[in-house]
Amino acid sequence: MLVALLVLILAMFGFVKIAEELGEGVTLFSAGYLALERKYGAMWLVGAAIGGGGVLSIVMKQLFNRGRPDIVPHLIAVTSPSFPSGHSMLGAIMYITLGALLARFATRRRTKVYLLTVALLTTFVVGASRVYLGVHYPSDVLAGWSAGLIWALTCWLVARYLQYRGTVDRAGRL
């Protein structure tokens, strides 16, 4: 009940719409910032994580081809397959990748906790909104979060491996 109330309040204030629609802008803004700071390795990590996650989402949707729920009226128009939730998956990939990346560059522990908490909360709200809007089953959202988290962690492990090999330094430079 509390979660539904939180999602409703945030949706009324447009947070969910802003979080969903700003995804591409946040990605481009982040990549631009990292390029200006000459953190090319980190920039490519963000691009590969989000671009690859988008392709993975499309492939999974076509593979499963699950219809949208018809239990309640949809509050928005959607036409793509339901499983997994692309918004949940890409939200998890984008916000968790950026939160973890920013936390890695932060020096204070409370700043790291803040960045990761905001990333996780934003991911949760975007996913919960999809169920609230009636366009996804809860299992679609859980699958999207899971696939997004697995993809983000895979990208992060590849980045760590490249750091270990010396291809990318700790500061995110090639």
Is there a catalytic annotation at residue 136?
Answer: yes
Q: Which secondary-structure segment (H or E) carries 139?
A: helix 138-165
The set of long-range contacts for 24-33, using a CB threshold of 8 Å and a minimum separation of 24, is 26/94, 26/98, 27/94, 30/98
The least confident of 28-37, 53-62, 163-172 is 163-172
Residue 8 in this model has a pLDDT that exceeds 60: no
Catalytic site residue from 87, 88, 140, 155: 87
Pick the more confident residue, 128 or 109. 109
Residue 156 in this model has a pLDDT that exceeds 80: yes
Catalytic site residue from 131, 136, 140, 145: 136
- Condensed to tens digits (0 to 9), the pLDDT of residues 76-125 reads 667 776 688 877 888 888 888 888 888 877 888 998 899 889 888 888 88
When computed from its CA atoms, the radius of gyration of the chain, rounded to whole angstroms, is 17
Name the average pLDDT for the chain. 76
Q: Rounded to whole angstroms, what are the CA distances from 16 to 139, 144, 157?
A: 19, 16, 29
Is there a catalytic annotation at residue 74?
Answer: no
Question: d(Cα 136, Cα 139) in Å, to the nearest integer?
Answer: 8
Residue 23 pLDDT class (50, 70, 90 cuts): low
